Amino acid sequence: MDMKKPRPLTAILRGITPDDAVSVCAVLVQAGFTSIEVPLNSPQPFDSIRLMADAFGKQAEIGAGTVLDVEQVDRVCEAGGRLIVSPNCEPSVIARTKALGLRSLPGVLTPSECFTALKAGADGLKFFPAGLLGVDGLKAIRAVLPPETLTYMVGGVGPENFGAWIVAGADGFGIGSALYKPGDGSALVADRAQTIITAWDALVTRE
């Protein structure tokens, strides 16, 4: 197993505040997360992104979730973010993200949304809410997607069902409340992060 290859796991820190951003980010990076997003409906999200990017931007891909418009993409970029994640498929957001050289993961659930996102230049697809789609739904959609398409599952996913999703064709996962809830201390997040990383490493052999 090549431990230098980034795991396709994104930590979603919905509700994180600037005061906690660096300490929580530190334990996530130490555990092995290399992709971390701050949803923009968190308190002062651009401040948190800037602090995290300044401290750990060379060790992890820091970015934003719940990105809904082009202006927000610009602000994330200005704060040092490199990842743009949305709950929806908005071609203008995808296009702006790629124009700025950032990574684009729009939210999709249907085949039409998948192909719209790919046509607009998305780097991968975030299936949300994954629990609503289900593993059978992913299998069906995977059958018509280009084989190189990267698929990330968010919503109702965790160590207990990583295996079933991987068999269905998932490439990676976004982990939110199972990893972090507002007010959680860094020690608690560290324990959860290690559990998730250990579960992933037990399931997947990365070449």
Give the catalytic positions in this structure. 37, 126
The C-alpha torsion from 147 through 133 and 125 to 3, rounded to 10°, is: -80
**Cα 187 off chain centre by:** 22
Q: Are 82 and 103 in contact (CB under 8 A)?
A: yes
Q: What is the residue type of 19? A: D
Report in angstroms the alpha-carbon separations of 96 from 70, 76, 88, 121, 199.
6, 12, 15, 10, 35
